[in-house]
Amino acid sequence: MFPLIPTSYFVALSGILFTLGVVGVLTRRNAIIVFMSVELMLNSANLAFVAFARQFMDVSGQVFVFFVMVVAAAEVAVGLALIVTIFRTKKSINVDEISQLKG
């Protein structure tokens, strides 16, 4: 069956991928790439959930991953609609130029 690897390896990989997602959100200014970095972070959290589900032999972790994926799908639908609307009015998706709500 599946070969055994310490759970901590998967958790560490999840942490590295999450960090890369954070760096993407903080450094890139293209709204779509910022959004993709958020997806990367969600996915790395899913990896940690599945690793712990395997460690504790509890399928609840996998059910939670399912819910995270549903939320991510809804978030992508609404977020991309927002990006399309902002691009239509401002002709830009640079997140630094979207500052009209700043006081």
Partner 1 sequence: MNPETIIFFLLAATAIFSAAMMLLSKNAVHSALWLVLNFAVVALFFLWLGAPFIAMVQVTVYAGAIMVLFLFVIMLLGAELVQDERNVLRRQPWWAMLLAAVFLGVVGMFFLSNGVGPLPPAFADEAAARAFGSPTEIGLALFTQYSLPFEVTSFLLLVGMIGAVVLTRDEKK
Name residues contacting partner 1, limited to 16-75 (CB under 8 A): 16-17, 19-24, 26-30, 32-33, 35-37, 39-40, 43-44, 46-47, 50-51, 53-55, 57, 59-60, 62-63, 65-67, 69-75
Q: Does 6 bind partner 1 (CB under 8 A)?
A: yes
- Here's the x/- map for partner 1, 83-102, by CB under 8 A: it reads as xxx-x----xxx-x--x---
Contacts for 62 with CB less than 8 Å, ≥ 6 apart: 49, 50, 53
What is the enclosing helix (H) or strand (E) of 36? helix 31-55
Least distance to partner 1, CB of residue 11, Å: 8
Q: How far is the CB of 100 from partner 1 (least distance, A)?
A: 14
Residue 97: what residue type?
E
Task: For the beta carbon of residue 71, count every other beta carbon within 10 angstroms.
Answer: 10
Place of tokens 């599945």: 50
